[in-house]
Amino acid sequence: MAVGVLIAVSCSTRYPARMSEMSVADLATDPMEQVRRWVADAQTAGVPEWDAMTVATADASGAPSARMVLLRGIEDAGFRFYSNYASRKATELSVNSRAALVIYWREQQRQIRAIGSVSQLTPEESLDYWSRRPRASQLSAWASYQSAPIDNRTTLEEEVTKIEQQFSDQDEIPRPSFWGGYLISPTEVEFWAHRDNRLHDRLVYRKDSGANWNISRLQP
């Protein structure tokens, strides 16, 4: 029989009381502008890994999966990230082009949650980011059949060495056709801020049928 273990947590020390009320008047009229503001706040505050983002996808049957990725672009249309097109998330997006994301900054007691449709970036947009990646990351992208089983790590490292030799005489490594970017275009974006006694602030933007953003407050 399985035995559960209860872990005691002192909630009073996890979140210092320093957040003031967040109101609709504090927010930008467009959610992506508000995302930029909060990201800038996190960067200014020196939040480590401010660009870490959870992306959740689902397969054709609705079974979900989630993983951490890097937020690699904020634009008016949405959030950018990059992946191997044969990865699990890419495979799921090919049959169910909806996703959810969460960005959480513990140090600032804030999180952003969004849901929306996902589309591939153009080859030109993917190349622009690819050309700015470190060479070692480019080699790894070529060598890895992301999400596919592998016997051991040695096999993977040997493949990286093989790819490195293949491109040893090239100053610029070409972008593989199986790697590129995605854009999550949100229809809903929520901004959450901690407040004392679990009475957190939750303000959500929702896009209506006329593509207008409406802001409302949610109960915590």
Of the candidates 14, 36, 132, 198, the residue annotated as catalytic is 198
- 139 within a domain of the structure (yes/no): no
- 195 within a domain of the structure (yes/no): yes
- 151 within a domain of the structure (yes/no): no
- DSSP for 83-125, please give it: EETTSHHHHHHHH--EEEEEEEEGGGTEEEEEEEEEEEPPHHH
Residue pLDDT, tens place only, 110-164: 999 999 999 999 999 999 999 999 999 999 999 999 999 999 999 999 999 999 9
Residue pLDDT, tens place only, 188-207: 999 999 988 889 999 999 99
Tell me whether residue 198 is one of the annotated catalytic residues: yes
- 68 within a domain of the structure (yes/no): yes
CA distances from 148 to 82, 138, 145, 160 (A): 17, 18, 6, 16
Domain region containing 89? 27-132+177-218
Whether this model's pTM surpasses 0.85: yes
- 171 within a domain of the structure (yes/no): no
Q: What is the CATH number of the domain that holds 99?
A: 2.30.110.10
- 168 within a domain of the structure (yes/no): no
CA end-to-end span of the chain, whole Å? Answer: 36
Q: Domains in the chain: how many in total? A: 1
